[in-house]
Amino acid sequence: MAKFTQLQETDYLLVMHKQQLLSHASIEIPIIQIPHVEKLLVKVLGNANILNEAELIQVGPYADGQCYVFDVFHSTDDSYLVSFRSLMQAMANEEKQLINRAMQLITWRKQHQYCGQCGQKTRLHDEEQAFHCKPCELFYYPRISPCMMCLVTKGDYCLLAQHQKHRNGFYSTLAGFVEAGEEVEATVHREVMEEVSLTVSNLSYYTSQAWPFPHQLMIGYFAEYASGDIVVQDKEIVDAQWFHYSDLPDIPPPETLSGMMIGEFVKQRTKNVK
Ligand SMILES: [Zn+2]
């Protein structure tokens, strides 16, 4: 872990609090160059001394320097906090990836302070980005949870589901975590059957998206309807229906993988019509 005093003037810092980013009205991107950080912290916390004790995690190169992240435990003025989700759409890919990574590293540090085998305190390894338990010779790398996302299509229709947590809100693609020992394609078949009782075929991989809430890797597939009638089985799903590409309900925003996939489906179908 780096200390603030070791950093260069060309380095950058992401300051997080309660899984949100500390920002400043005059700084649009919450990746703050070192000379400005102290000023911001004096404004928000009343002092910047907290920086001298902070353990910073290196996130990666940015502009002419390195970007680090630290998590403020003290309470701050919440009006300076912005959520990553609210910034995503307007943000360039480089910044998005950096913040995504920073958030996952903060979660990782919080959750791997002790060895899961012997219970002793772990230490950050000198060379690997991993927490290490010396007696057990175990390494704890940042955790990544693979999760499939699937848009089932049937001609000009696609299957969208409303989830319990978005009740009265948008309809989205199906999704589910990959289980131990399972291949992603098997997850697609299993989840589609478990959630809506359909079989699918002709799976095609679309793209993936790192999703730091808290550490998913979303893996997107298109699949064609093969057989069955929609019967919602999963209690997390309130409703699931076929929707024509020209008559969709509210869907997730385009910066999410689900939104991207539905957008791609509509684009393909619209192209076919022309
Ligand atoms: Zn151990």
The domains located in the chain, with CATH, are 4-111 (3.90.79), 113-143 (no CATH), 145-273 (3.90.79.10)
Q: What separation in Å is there between the alpha carbon of 133 and the centre of ligand 1?
A: 5
Q: What separation in Å is there between the alpha carbon of 135 and the centre of ligand 1?
A: 6
Q: What separation in Å is there between the alpha carbon of 181 and the centre of ligand 1?
A: 25
Q: In the predicted model, is pLDDT for residue 29 greater than 80?
A: no
Q: What separation in Å is there between the alpha carbon of 139 and the centre of ligand 1?
A: 9
Q: What separation in Å is there between the alpha carbon of 125 and the centre of ligand 1?
A: 14
Q: What separation in Å is there between the alpha carbon of 17 and the centre of ligand 1?
A: 29
In which region does residue 181 sit, left (phi positive, over 0), alpha (psi from -120 to 50) or beta (all else)? Answer: left
Q: What separation in Å is there between the alpha carbon of 117 and the centre of ligand 1?
A: 5
Mean predicted confidence (pLDDT) in 51-71: 91
- CB contact at 8 A, 54 and 68: no
Mean predicted confidence (pLDDT) in 164-174: 87
Q: What separation in Å is there between the alpha carbon of 107 and the centre of ligand 1?
A: 20
The DSSP letter of residue 109 is H
Q: What is the pTM of this model?
A: 0.88
Mean predicted confidence (pLDDT) in 229-239: 91
Categorize the per-residue pLDDT at 25 as very low, low, confident or very high, splitting at 50, 70 and 90: low
Listed as own residue / partner, the contacts of 80-83 with beta carbons closer than 8 Å and 24 or more positions apart are 80/22, 80/23, 80/24, 80/40, 80/43, 80/44, 81/17, 81/18, 81/20, 81/21, 81/22, 81/23, 82/20, 82/21, 82/23, 82/30, 83/20, 83/21
Mean predicted confidence (pLDDT) in 137-142: 96
At residue 44, what is the residue type? Answer: V
Q: How far apart are CA 18 and CA 187, in angstroms?
A: 32
Q: What separation in Å is there between the alpha carbon of 113 and the centre of ligand 1?
A: 11
259 CB contacts (<8 Å, ≥6 apart)? 251, 252, 253
Q: How far apart are CA 66 and CA 274, in angstroms?
A: 48
Q: What is the pLDDT of residue 28?
A: 65
pLDDT tens across 174-209, in order? 999 999 999 999 999 999 999 999 999 999 999 999
Q: What separation in Å is there between the alpha carbon of 54 and the centre of ligand 1?
A: 26
pLDDT, greater one: 86 or 146: 146
Q: In the predicted model, is pLDDT for residue 27 greater than 70?
A: no
Q: What separation in Å is there between the alpha carbon of 134 and the centre of ligand 1?
A: 7
